Chains A and B, each alone.
Chain A
Amino acid sequence: MAKPPFEQDLVSMVSSLIHLRTIGEELRKKPFAIPRMEAALRESLGAFADLTSSFERTEETLQREAQPYLAQWLTAQGLQLGGEAVFEGTSALGVARVRGGLSVVRLCPNMIFGRRCVELILEDATFAVGALPGYTHFETLGQAQLSPVLNGVQGVRIPVTKDGYLGRHLSVPDALLDRHVVRITLPIKQTDIDSLVRSSHFRRI
């Protein structure tokens, strides 16, 4: 099957974002003047601060202009913003699932295992373990039971596969736990998603 054109466009867009992010972070990292010089360099420091905020604004513009292409990608995955999404992860410890409302799709600013990715945000996320049908909140089940579907949990032995994807696709931002928000990272390319599904480690259901 031919690759859809939006796939290469999204890969290019993520490359742009990573490139911008690299320079922007470098800019944020560096104190431009030693403290003694701050008074003499007031205007320069102002110009540097403006430059930093321009980088942030440019990143946001890039994310906005990528939205139509991300929407095509979602459609190809059978997902849509505002709809419900369910993902399942499998490890030696069993099977776990997460379910939630898909509220955000963005370009992922980091490479994950050398692959350019898309980030999904699920709100009001609930989880299920094994064959049990009921979905409940993260706190009820806990990290250990949910490890098959969670991002690299410490102390849990996970068989490493050659594509290294296992359990790395779902993370729960600490600050957002109480709002039951989870972030899912998926590779852009269909061939990468297919290999994930084939290995049955992580898939949309």
Chain B
Amino acid sequence: MATKNTKLEATLVSMTGTLVYLRDLAATLAAKPIVPQSVTSHMPKTAAEIAALKLQFDSALRVAHQEAQPFVDEWLRLVGLQVGGVIRGTMGHRISSRTDVLTFEGGIAHACLHHYLVSGVRVMSFTLEGARISLSDGSSGALLSELKDSLNRGHFNTTAMRETIDDDAEAATKVRKLHVHVPVQARMREDWVRGHTLQLM
């Protein structure tokens, strides 16, 4: 199976750069109130336009993700993963003589370019559904947060895994979601395998 396509990788790397950059600016915009509280009441129009700017960032990000989708799909085909399919793998950490291993498996609900670099690496983010995480100490669960105690006791490497708390628009509640990050570039995927960060199975 050909898992390397340099031109596609370069395209996705460039697109990730754009997403990361946009996200950074949006975060800067949101980091502190641009219009200090004390003058907000004096400048209602400015405050409204800044609120609109934040929404505009979101929609620019959405459009960029949409346009990246065909390239993401091509990448998924190359790597042999698909939305609706299953992703499974291990993450290990070698500390002296001891090896703590995390094994995971889950359905792929969503895959998109990630707008943050993970340890400096551009990654594809997979959102899991019906995930199962098993640790080498025998414990298991559906989310990292359920395994906090075991994770703290051991030396697990969870660089490639992330849990988010998202708004669920339909249920109007917060839902925890588990994500697995897979490097966009084959070279970095190999690097992560060597470093026990992520080995897909």
Contact = CB atoms under 8 A, between A and B. Distances in A.
Nearest to B64: A44
Contacts, number: 94
Interface string B13-40: 0110010011001001100101110110
B48 to A, nearest CB: 9
B116 to A, nearest CB: 17
A41 B29 CA distance: 24
For the complex of A and B, the 7 pairs showing the least CB-CB separation, nearest first, are A47-B60, A65-B43, A12-B36, A58-B49, A44-B64, A62-B46, A47-B63
Interface in B173-197: none
A69 interface: yes
A93 B37 CA distance: 46
A195 B66 CA distance: 57
Interface of A: 8-9, 12-13, 15-16, 19-20, 22-23, 26-27, 30, 32-34, 36-37, 40-44, 46-48, 50-51, 54-55, 57-58, 61-62, 64-66, 69
Interface residues of B, number: 34
A50 B56 CA distance: 8
Interface in B53-105: 53, 56-57, 59-60, 63-64, 66-67, 70-71
A13 B67 contact: no
A13 B64 contact: no
Contacts of B67: 40-44
Nearest to A64: B45
9 contacts: A12-B39, A23-B28, A33-B18, A40-B71, A51-B56, A54-B56, A61-B43, A61-B49, A62-B46
B42 interface: yes
Contacts of B42: 9, 65, 69
Given A12-B36, A62-B43, A51 B57 contact: yes
A16 B36 contact: yes
A42 B44 CA distance: 33
Contact of B43 (A8, A50, A57, A66): A66
A128 to B, nearest CB: 39
Given A16-B36, A47-B60, A57-B49, A30 B21 contact: yes
Does more than half of chain B's interface fall in helix, strand or loop, or is it mixed? Answer: helix
Contacts of B34: 16, 19-20
Contacts of A23: 25, 28-29
Contacts of A43: 63, 66-67
Given A47-B59, A69-B42, 19 more contacts: A12-B35, A12-B36, A12-B38, A13-B35, A19-B34, A22-B28, A23-B25, A33-B14, A33-B18, A37-B15, A41-B18, A41-B64, A47-B64, A48-B22, A54-B53, A61-B43, A61-B45, A62-B43, A62-B46
Contacts of B22: 48
A86 B141 CA distance: 76
Given A23-B25, A47-B60, A32 B18 contact: yes
Nearest to A42: B67
B52 interface: yes
B114 to A, nearest CB: 17
